[in-house]
């Protein structure tokens, strides 16, 4: 049985140094990084653009040579580098931007999770596409990740609460004996740390707060 922990990470240049569990802690590299991008997205955007900049245009070179194109369901595994925040990179094609709807986004995320788990990662960073995607697409991608890992999103909060941009990262954890199944998972306990697989979903600033609220669920009543 595997325990999963999922967090929402705000897109920023600090990600080039890795991720941190808590603010102020040292950033560490991630085993597997999945960078989603559109077939008609040139130049690259978001975390893919930052990685491309750090590698002096290595990703752009692959695109120009036709090694990968961004066609829907395309998955390209690349080795990382010592100066990157991820040890292994997967480029995830989403097809043309205009063709991706929420249902397609959710299916793409489900397929991505299944692929990632076959690689038996220590931890995973999934960077959502950046620069103009609709809120519904970001939410559908997050829902696909959660479902693919054997969990489910809590009931949504009110619109005002869900739109608030919480600074505190909300982590949600659960256990799943069969990742990707539709069984109702339990919330993870302390468990064996060796079985914990942490996931980070990277989103643009305009989406990160809402996704954190969706992941955390409705606000709880204050304790007396």
Per domain, the residue ranges of the chain are 2-21+28-216
Torsion 119-123-204-48 (CA) sign: negative
3-state secondary structure 165-213: CCCCCCCEEEEECCCCCCCCCCCCCCCCHHHEEEEEEEECHHHHHHHHH
**Can you tell me the distance from the alpha carbon of 69 to that of 80, in angstroms, rounded to the nearest whole number?**
19
**Can you tell me the distance from the alpha carbon of 173 to that of 199, in angstroms, rounded to the nearest whole number?**
10
Whole-prediction pTM: 0.84
> Widest CA span of the chain, in angstroms?
63
Give CATH for domain 2-21+28-216.
Answer: 3.40.220.10
pLDDT value, residue 162 = 42
The predicted-structure confidence for 159-205, as pLDDT tens digits, reads as follows 444 444 444 445 788 776 544 433 333 334 444 444 899 999 999 99
pLDDT value, residue 218 = 60
Q: Are 39 and 96 in contact (CB under 8 A)?
A: yes
Overall average pLDDT of the 69-92 stretch: 94
pLDDT value, residue 81 = 87
Exposure on the CB side of residue 208, measured as CA atoms within 13 A: 20
The predicted-structure confidence for 108-150, as pLDDT tens digits, reads as follows 999 999 999 999 999 999 999 987 668 899 999 999 999 999 9
Could you tell me which of 42, 40, 137, 52 has the C-alpha nearest to residue 95? 40
């Amino acid at each position: 049985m595997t325990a999963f922990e999922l967090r929402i990470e705000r897109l920023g240049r600090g990600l080039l140094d890795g991720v941190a569990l808590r603010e102020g802690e040292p950033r560490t590299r991630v085993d597997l990084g999945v960078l989603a991008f559109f077939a008609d997205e040139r130049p690259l955007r978001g975390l893919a653009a930052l990685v491309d900049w750090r590698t002096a245009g290595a990703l752009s070179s692959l695109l120009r040579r036709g090694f990968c194109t961004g066609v829907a369901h395309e998955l390209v595994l690349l080795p990382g580098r010592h100066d990157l925040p991820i040890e292994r990179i997967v480029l995830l094609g989403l097809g043309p931007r205009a063709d991706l709807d929420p249902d397609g986004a959710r299916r793409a995320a489900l397929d991505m999770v299944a692929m990632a788990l076959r690689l038996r990662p220590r931890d995973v960073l999934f960077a959502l596409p950046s620069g103009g995607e609709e809120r519904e697409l970001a939410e559908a991608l997050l829902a696909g990740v959660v479902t693919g890992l054997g969990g489910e999103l809590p009931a949504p909060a009110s619109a005002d609460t869900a739109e608030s941009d919480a600074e505190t990262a909300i982590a949600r954890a659960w256990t799943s004996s069969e990742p990707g199944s539709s069984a109702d998972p339990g919330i993870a306990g302390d468990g064996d740390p060796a079985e914990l697989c942490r996931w980070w979903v990277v989103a643009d600033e305009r989406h990160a707060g809402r996704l954190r609220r969706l992941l955390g669920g409705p606000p709880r009543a204050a304790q007396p």
